[in-house]
């Protein structure tokens, strides 16, 4: 069944367009704008170019999803297979199935929303041309990672995203951006070197780099020792990108220093590249090697769940001077731990839960970083002790709609039933209760219990954040001292604004804070600018999809389950 009937040749073109168009758009962004497209100034023209290109890619991704045959989601569709390097049998092999299609659409959506947000709220930094070009190169590399079906092409696409993300952090980031950018690039590059050795080992020992052929063979062409070495090498590189504890330490620094859109893309799509590699490559290609390492992967996963939650609780406590962006970054370590736990079970239930949690995390954490960026713009800081002003000085009293949306994202992140975050965590825990044959049930049930405890810790720190940031602390006196009073950062400090747009500094001045002392909820409590129209446009799709995925999980599971079943069965339904 397809929503619209599209010929195979058009489907091939759409997938190729989705992968290549952002790269061509990045090159065009660096060229002077044609006279008729310059708008009011060159900055506005290049930002509009970014919105146009990412919007076209999103439309193509939606049409591709509409033309996808949902009755056969385990079959590779929209395939292109062209010889590229005959001597190495490397081919330009593209295709999508029920596993890669949701990630493709998620990437296109988040990149478009980031481009739209940046049109009105460009982060402070060098030329907007470079910013737009880097975002488009990042999108092209991420989309290619989810679309290619050749091991060497997968590696090239996997590496393609590192340089643009490095510059986004280093040139448009906040405090400590240089150190964070270097830490990000060094960790990921070192992991990638080891991963390349593992991919070469698989290709040379099996005689092909074709991921479809390797999945169909299901490891029969590789000895157990080769599979173990390959899983160790490839898995290490994927674990750094995921990130898995204890290889996660680059993530909090990168998120804290990155601009808002950099954090959204890093959490929403880049982390998914690592877990996608586990599912697409290691599970079907080296099942014996995965079975050897599955208990260790699950153990690291649940340690990451608990560690991430405890780190968030430490940051959330009063007086800790915790950074809200850093807290959300540590929460990602815990959430990706659930994804790794589901993969480690090697069962359809667990892997489906991991893929669902991937999409849910992209939607919810992307929304959280958008919201935290907006809060930081208004207060001039993401420090939790500063944000948790007296009752009436917190978000509910100063920007109620923004506070309500932050509370919604927080409860979605903690796994509230009826929202997207619930199903992924539940299915991964169910998968751990009954792991694949050959894995220790007592061990995995212990991991399940630890993971379930982690969900309680997640609820604890998220509710603390909501209480402090949205409701505020109860001050012992009627008024705050000047040192405790949250201040709104000048809008002009956020970077160059395209003139004449709805997000210009003048548009938010009317709703910003007035002079006076902040106290409990009174008529004189200064107000902050609440949600702007461009913010509503960028955030509403994420809110809607979080609700839809939570209420109708079968929409996503109907795509992933047949593909997962076939993948785990070695290409046989």
> What confidence tens digit (pLDDT) does each residue in 89-121 have?
788 999 999 999 999 999 999 999 999 999 998
- Name residue 307's beta-bridge partners: none
pLDDT given for residue 178 in this prediction:
87
Q: DSSP for 505-568?
A: HHHHHTTSPPSS---SS-TTPPPPP---HHHHHHHHHHHHHHHHHHH-THHHHHHHHHHHHHHH
Say what the pLDDT of residue 454 is.
92
C-alpha Rg value of the chain to the nearest Å? 23
pLDDT band of residue 385 (cuts 50, 70, 90) is confident
The closest of 267, 266, 530 to 406, measured between CA atoms, is 530
Over range 496-513, report the average pLDDT: 37
Question: pLDDT tens digit string along 244-275?
Answer: 888 888 888 888 888 999 999 998 899 899 99
Output the pLDDT for position 310: 94
Instruction: Report whether 140 contacts 20 (CB < 8 A).
Output: yes
Q: Per DSSP, what are the bridge partners of residue 94? A: 80, 148
Average pLDDT of every residue of the chain: 85
List, for residues 303-349, the tens digit of each pLDDT value.
999 999 999 999 888 877 888 989 999 999 999 999 999 999 999 99
pLDDT at 229: 93
Quickly list H helices, 121-174.
128-147, 151-160, 162-172
190: left (phi over 0), alpha (psi -120 to 50) or beta: alpha
Query: How, if at all, do strands 90-96 and 77-85 pair?
Result: antiparallel
| Torsional sign, CA 539, 368, 114, 305 | negative
How large is the average pLDDT for residues 415-431? 91
Sign for the pseudo-dihedral over CA of 255, 127, 53, 45: positive
39 pLDDT band (50/70/90 cuts)? low
- pLDDT value, residue 490: 42
* Residue 86 confidence (pLDDT): 83
Report the pLDDT value the prediction gives residue 522, as an integer from 0 to 100: 43
What pLDDT score was predicted for residue 26?
A: 93
Of the listed ranges 98-107, 198-207, 349-358, the least confidently predicted one is 198-207
Averaged pLDDT for residues 285-312? 93
- The whole-number pLDDT of residue 37 equals 56
Give pLDDT tens digits for 515-539. 333 344 444 556 677 888 999 999 9
List CB contacts of 396: < 8 A, sequence separation 6 or more: 403, 404, 470, 471, 472
User: Is pLDDT above 70 for 34?
Assistant: no
Distance CA 412, CA 279 (A): 25
Instruction: Tell me how far the alpha carbon of residue 83 is from its chain's centroid.
Output: 32
Segment 324-337, tens digit of pLDDT: 989 999 999 999 99
pLDDT-derived band at 27 (thresholds 50, 70, 90) equals: very high
Render pLDDT for 57-93 as a digit per residue (tens, 0 to 9). 999 999 999 989 888 888 889 888 888 888 777 889 9
Q: In this predicted structure, what is the pLDDT of residue 383?
A: 84
More confident residue, 60 or 477: 60
- What pLDDT, on the 0 to 100 scale, is given for residue 15? 94
Taking alpha carbons only, the member of 427, 450, 368, 447 closest to residue 557 is 427
**Percentage of residues in the chain having pLDDT higher than 90:** 51
Greatest mean pLDDT range, 71-85, 130-144, 491-505, 522-536:
130-144
Residue 472 confidence (pLDDT): 79
pLDDT band at residue 570 using 50, 70 and 90 as cut-offs:
low
Whether the per-residue pLDDT at 376 is higher than 80: the answer is yes
pLDDT of residue 489 exceeding 60: no
Q: What is the pLDDT of residues 443-457, one digit of tens each?
A: 999 999 999 999 999
Asked whether residue 482 carries a pLDDT value surpassing 90, the answer given is: no
- The answer to whether residue 497 scores a pLDDT higher than 70 is no
Which pLDDT band, with edges at 50, 70 and 90, does 206 fall under?
confident
pLDDT at residue 480, rounded to an integer? 45
């Amino acid at each position: 069944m397809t929503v619209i009937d599209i010929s195979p040749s058009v489907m091939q073109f759409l997938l190729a367009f989705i992968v290549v168009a952002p790269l061509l758009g990045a090159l065009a962004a660096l060229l002077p704008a044609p006279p008729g497209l310059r708008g009011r100034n060159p900055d506005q023209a290049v930002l509009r170019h970014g919105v146009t290109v990412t919007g076209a890619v999103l439309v193509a991704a939606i049409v591709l999803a509409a033309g996808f045959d949902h009755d056969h989601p385990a079959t590779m569709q929209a395939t292109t297979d062209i010889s590229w390097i005959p001597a190495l049998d490397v081919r330009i092999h593209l295709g999508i199935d029920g596993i890669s299609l949701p990630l493709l659409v998620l990437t296109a959506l988040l990149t478009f929303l980031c481009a739209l947000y940046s049109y009105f709220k460009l982060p402070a930094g060098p030329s907007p041309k470079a910013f737009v070009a880097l975002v488009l190169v990042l999108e092209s590399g991420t989309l290619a990672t989810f679309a290619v079906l050749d091991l060497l092409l997968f590696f090239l696409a996997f590496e393609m995203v590192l340089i643009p993300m490095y510059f986004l952090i280093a040139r448009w980031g906040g405090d400590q951006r240089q150190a964070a950018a270097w830490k990000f690039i060094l960790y990921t590059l070192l992991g990638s070197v080891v991963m390349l050795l593992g991919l070469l080992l698989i290709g040379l020992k099996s005689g092909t780099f074709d991921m479809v052929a390797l999945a169909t063979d299901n490891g029969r062409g590789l000895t157990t020792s080769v599979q173990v070495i390959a899983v160790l090498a490839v898995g290490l590189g994927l674990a750094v990108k995921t990130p898995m504890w204890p290889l996660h330490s680059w993530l909090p620094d990168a998120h804290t220093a990155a601009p808002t859109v950099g954090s959204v893309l890093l959490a929403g799509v880049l982390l998914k590249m690592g877990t996608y590699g586990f599912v697409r490559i290691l599970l079907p290609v080296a099942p014996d090697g995965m079975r050897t390492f599955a208990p260790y992967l699950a153990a690291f996963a649940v340690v990451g769940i608990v560690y991430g939650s405890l780190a968030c609780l430490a940051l959330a406590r009063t007086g800790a001077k915790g950074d809200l962006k850093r807290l959300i970054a540590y929460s990602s370590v815990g959430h990706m731990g659930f994804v790794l736990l589901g993969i480690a079970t090697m069962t359809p239930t667990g892997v489906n839960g991991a893929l669902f949690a991937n999409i849910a995390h992209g939607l919810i954490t992307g929304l959280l970083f958008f919201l935290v960026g907006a809060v930081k713009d208004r207060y001039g800081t993401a420090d939790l002790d500063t944000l948790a002003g007296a009752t009436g000085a917190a978000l509910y009293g100063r920007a109620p709609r923004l506070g309500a949306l932050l509370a919604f994202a927080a409860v979605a992140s903690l796994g509230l039933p009826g929202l997207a975050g619930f199903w992924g965590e539940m299915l991964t825990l169910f998968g751990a209760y009954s792991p694949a044959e050959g894995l220790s049930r007592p061990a995995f049930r212990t991991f399940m219990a630890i993971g379930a405890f982690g969900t309680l810790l997640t609820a604890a720190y998220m509710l603390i954040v909501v209480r402090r940031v949205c409701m505020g602390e109860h001050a012992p006196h009627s008024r705050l001292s000047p040192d405790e009073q949250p201040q709104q950062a000048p809008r002009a400090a956020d970077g160059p604004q395209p003139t004449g747009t709805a997000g210009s500094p003048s548009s938010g001045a009317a709703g910003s804070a007035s002079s006076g002392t902040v106290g409990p909820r009174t008529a004189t409590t200064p107000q902050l600018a609440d949600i702007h129209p461009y913010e509503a446009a960028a955030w509403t799709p994420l809110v809607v999809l979080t609700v839809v995925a939570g209420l109708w999980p079968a929409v996503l599971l109907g795509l992933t389950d047949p593909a997962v079943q076939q993948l785990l069965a070695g290409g046989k339904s």
